[in-house]
Structure 1
Amino acid sequence: MKTILLIEDNADIRENTAEILELAGYRVLTAENGKMGVEQALANRPDLIICDIMMPVLDGYGVLHIVNSNPGLSGIPFIFLTAKSERVDFRKGMELGADDYLTKPFDDTELLSAVEGRLNRFRNVGPTAADPTSRVQPNELNHFLDSAQSAGGLQALSVDRKAHRVLKKQFIYTEGDEPTRLYFLKSGRVKTMRINTDGKELVTGLHGPGEFFGYLALIDNTPYTDSAVTLDESELIYIPQSDFQQLLMAQPGVSRQFVRLLAGRVDEIEKQLLGMAYGSLRRRVADALLRLHEQLAGGPIQLSRDDLAAVVGTATESLIRTLGEFKQDGLIDVSNAGIRVLQPDKLRRANW
């Protein structure tokens, strides 16, 4: 039985919608605001989320952002409920990764058709458009590849699904290498980076469990423009280049997934470059901490000072000094467990 999480602050709509879904054979969890909805999702991962946009405490956009950023929730199909029909609301929701919209009032048929459509798409394709980082639960990778193979009609998919253990601080590939495979990170952490002629390092990406990486060079059929190094002892699954290319050609859903992934990476890198060009050091450090804070769902940021400095694009000594100032201001906590952001709103709003 599929579980649906319904987040709606209007009691009548919430109860009526839940009743329709239960009659259709779904298990329904309900929440009256976004904060309670996120707590419900974390406690019991649903197969689909239906969420109102305008709510107290935490609105629907905030819920979707948390769902996409949390490794334990990302990839869940997401349907927005809204009483508005303005284009700006639709555009904002789709940019954030919503799978579908239902405009209130809606009838039973519209509701059930939207739900069935999203669940079927998730079952047949694997990761959904609601997952801009293409994060997949490690135990779902085989299902994803099997589904893509079946949907694409491939006769043979020689994907090496064995997990390869790679020790900490080992290069997976280096700038200039010819790409031979797509990488799926089952456990551990990997950074991608570039090194300039002076030997200075700039971290261009941080990847955690459930993420693909190394796909840009495969799609473009060009040598790697960066290097990938393990930050921890990691487990990687290798998908040969030929099989990845067959997946892209045979299954449009897989292609769309990686197009969205590429678009997201380009946007992230553009913001990083703009920050380095025009942002103050405090602003750049704050933005880097906020990105990692959201990526880790509020957990401690466990990066060496050298790696964090490479993310920001500054000297390690400058980073340490800025972290000390943030700690003194009560914005962060620094301990052996890592860096924990205490006041993200103040970091975000500060005018440095």
Structure 2
Amino acid sequence: MNNPLILIIEDEKVLRENIAGIVTHYGFRVISSASGEEGIKMAAESLPDLIICDIMLPGIDGFDVFKRIKQNSQLSAAAFIFLTAKSTRFDTRMGMDMGADDYLTKPFTKEELINSIKARLEKISKLRSMELKKDELIETALEKMTSLTKAERKVFNKISEGLTTPQIAQKLFLSQKTIENHRVNISRKLNLSGPNSLISFALRVRALSSNNHFPDNFPPVSSH
């Protein structure tokens, strides 16, 4: 992740400036706010990669900030670290149960702060990399699937449901030989080889489709 942006929401000026100084020293970009309301506005405008937020704030508290941040689809993936002067199990458990990535109890060391930030950003980077790979797989699947005929798509759909050749033949009112020919043609068009490669690919496409990655008119298709 190149030059991540970190938002600090902390009402204590000295602490806010100290955190900003440390984070800047380690090469991160920083913006900061003294209140939850202002912090939410800054987050919506700047889309930070990570947010460090005190729990006890004037106006809305850190828990409310977290809830409103996560309700924003553009901000929901941002990492979130709570700062708290309280070391009670309740505050810690509440923050983590809400879905926060980490918490730091004041006073904390420079090393604790930076280690937490780096760990959270590394996790985000890995997740984004996985999403990019998934997008590439989806794009490849879409490109390959466009070469199939309507009949082949129907067969592919049944394969993705885990049906065998006899079962597909029965469902589509075709001979098993016809289904086998379709399977051979589908494998050739999709550049798949091996006895189980078509099945694996079909199941993967169906899983992606069920997660709304494909348009409604993309496989699975109607068999009627």
Same fold (TM over 0.5): yes
Deviations 1:118-169 (A, max 9, x none): 000110123xxxxxxxxxxxxxxxx4334679xxxxxxx8434659xxxxxx
2:124 corresponds, among 117, 122, 125, to 122
Give the Å deviation of 1:237: 11
Which structure has more strand as a fraction of its residues? 1
In structure 1, distance between residues paired with 2:42 and 2:217: 31
2:58 corresponds, among 56, 59, 64, to 56
In structure 1, distance between residues paired with 2:62 and 2:102: 13
- Please tell me whether the aligned partners of residues 37 and 59 of structure 2 are also in contact (alpha carbons under 8 angstroms): yes
TM-score under structure 1 normalisation?
0.41
Match of residue 84 from structure 1: 86
Which structure has more helix as a fraction of its residues? 2
In structure 1, distance between residues paired with 2:15 and 2:217: 45
User: Compared with structure 1, are the counterparts of its residues 110 and 238 closer, same or farther at alpha carbon in structure 2 (3 Å cutoff)?
Assistant: farther
Structure 2 stretches lacking a partner, 5+ long: 144-159, 162-202
Structure 2 counterparts to residues 20-99 of structure 1, below 5 A: 20-99=22-101
* RMSD of aligned Cα (Å): 3.3
In structure 2, distance between residues paired with 1:81 and 1:239: 47
Structure 1 stretches lacking a partner, 5+ long: 127-142, 150-156, 164-176, 185-211, 215-233, 241-352
Match of residue 138 from structure 2: 159
Give the Å deviation of 1:88: 0.9
Partner secondary structure for residue 145 of structure 1: helix
Deviations 1:259-316 (A, max 9, x none): xxxxxxxxxxxxxxxxxxxxxxxxxxxxxxxxxxxxxxxxxxxxxxxxxxxxxxxxxx
Structure 2 counterparts to residues 64-213 of structure 1, below 5 A: 64-126=66-128, 143-146=129-132, 158-160=137-139, 162=142, 180-183=206-209, 212=211
Report how many aligned residue pairs link the two structures: 159
Give the Å deviation of 1:70: 0.8
| Moved segments of 4+, more than 2 Å | 143-149, 157-163, 177-184, 234-240
In structure 2, distance between residues paired with 1:104 and 1:61: 17
In structure 2, distance between residues paired with 1:239 and 1:100: 41
In structure 1, distance between residues paired with 2:219 and 2:69: 27
Aligned residue type for 1:145: E
Aligned residue type for 2:51: I
- Please tell me whether the aligned partners of residues 182 and 239 of structure 1 are also in contact (alpha carbons under 8 angstroms): no
In structure 2, distance between residues paired with 1:239 and 1:104: 53
User: Compared with structure 1, are the counterparts of its residues 25 and 147 closer, same or farther at alpha carbon in structure 2 (3 Å cutoff)?
Assistant: farther
- Please tell me whether the aligned partners of residues 79 and 101 of structure 1 are also in contact (alpha carbons under 8 angstroms): yes
In structure 2, distance between residues paired with 1:63 and 1:5: 12
TM-score under structure 2 normalisation?
0.62
Give the Å deviation of 1:110: 0.5
In structure 2, distance between residues paired with 1:117 and 1:88: 24
- Please tell me whether the aligned partners of residues 55 and 83 of structure 2 are also in contact (alpha carbons under 8 angstroms): yes
In structure 1, distance between residues paired with 2:82 and 2:133: 26
